[in-house]
Amino acid sequence: MRKQIAAANWKMNLTYKQAETLLDEILAAGLEPSPNQQVLFSVPFPYLIMANSEVAEETSYFIAAQNCSDKKSGAYTGEVSAEMLQSIGIKYCVIGHSERRDYFNESNQMLAEKVNLCLKHEIIPVFCCGEALSVREQETQNSFVQTQLEESLFHLSPEQIQNIIIAYEPIWAIGTGRTASTQQAQEMHHHLRSVLAGRYGQEVADNISILYGGSVKGANAIELFSSPDVDGGLVGGASLQATEFQQIIKALKK
Ligand code: PEP
């Protein structure tokens, strides 16, 4: 059975003290995710050590990186490799967030390299995809997002693809307060699962968690997550508020 996942994306926010307080508040609620639920916190690089302290005792909570290099190692000042993440016990890494694609020119090909390096180092990529508003207005979002998957993921074997989490994040809904409707999210998630089934077979496709991202909040999470192909969310703004994120965790399907 595929996992239902609430993934926080803190982006470049919070001092370390604020981050510790937020995590403490969320954990203090004592929510106990069921065996098929997981909670991820994608934190800034310096805070990854929380994996060895703050959440070390928790079984369903994991600290994730927000990015890693497409290079193995070497003279790339400022970069952080998948191998380094593995060496400090990190098991999840967000790959290809639209902010990275847009501001740091990350191409589908570069993201394929990052995915390969993550898998080589036993890190599960949370692979982000999603279209800009102009693509949605032309009604070409299905083929646009399909190409993102094909160019970054479809070289993987059936065993490898089942170690990927996909996050569909329409760019027009990220940080804008404008959420995709439940129907729009379900339609795209169903399309992505069909594309995965076409390449890898239905059984493999059914094992892959596909998260929705884009202005998810406590108030809309239950409805969004209730769709059959929506397996939780990747959450930016609302993940910075303990009570909001607790509501989002509670909204996951059991
Ligand atoms: C995100 O950053 O991945 C995101 C979905 O942000 P927000 O929830 O703020 O729209």
Condensed to tens digits (0 to 9), the pLDDT of residues 23-52 reads 999 999 988 889 999 999 999 999 999 888
236 Cβ below 6 A of ligand 1: yes
Q: Which amino acid is at 3?
A: K
Q: What integer is the mean pLDDT of 210-238?
A: 97
**216 ligand 1 Cβ < 6 A:** yes
Choose one of 12, 13, 234, 248 to mutate for the ligand 1 pocket test, by most ligand atoms within 8 angstroms of C-beta. 234
Give the model's pLDDT for residue 134.
96
pLDDT digits (tens, 9 = 90+) for 135-167: 999 999 999 999 999 999 999 999 999 999 999
| pLDDT tens-digit series, residues 159-205 | 999 999 999 999 999 989 899 999 999 999 999 999 999 999 999 99
Residue 1: pLDDT above 90?
A: no
pLDDT of 231 strictly over 90: yes
Question: φ, ψ for residue 157 (rounded to 5)?
Answer: -80, 165
E-strand stretches of the chain: 4-9, 37-43, 61-65, 92-95, 124-129, 165-168, 210-213, 232-235
Kindly report, residue by residue over 54-107, the tens digit of the pLDDT.
787 888 999 999 999 999 999 999 999 999 999 999 999 999 999 999 999 999
130 lines ligand 1 (CB under 6 A): no
Q: How far apart are CA 251 and CA 106, in angstroms?
A: 32
Query: Among this protein's residues, is 169 annotated catalytic?
Result: yes
Check pocket membership of 234 for ligand 1, CB cut-off 6 A.
Answer: yes
Catalytic: which of 97, 106, 121, 131?
Answer: 97
- Average predicted confidence (pLDDT) for the chain: 96
Report how far ligand 1's centroid is from the alpha carbon of 69 (Å).
Answer: 22
State the Cα–Cα distance between residues 144 and 141, nearest whole angstrom: 5
Predicted pLDDT at 52: 82
Ligand 1 pocket check for 237: Cβ under 6 Å:
yes
Which residues contact residue 96 at a Cβ distance below 8 angstroms, ignoring those fewer than 6 apart? Answer: 106, 111, 114, 127, 128, 129, 148, 152
Nearest residue (CA) to ligand 1, atom 6? 236
pLDDT at 30: 87
Residue closest by Cα to atom 2 of ligand 1 = 236
From 54, 99, 169, 244, active-site residue? 169
Query: Is 191 one of the catalytic residues?
Result: no
Q: Indicate the pTM of the whole model.
A: 0.97
The pLDDT assigned to 54 comes to: 78
What is the end-to-end Cα distance of the chain in Å, rounded? 11
The whole-number average pLDDT for the span 217-246 is 98
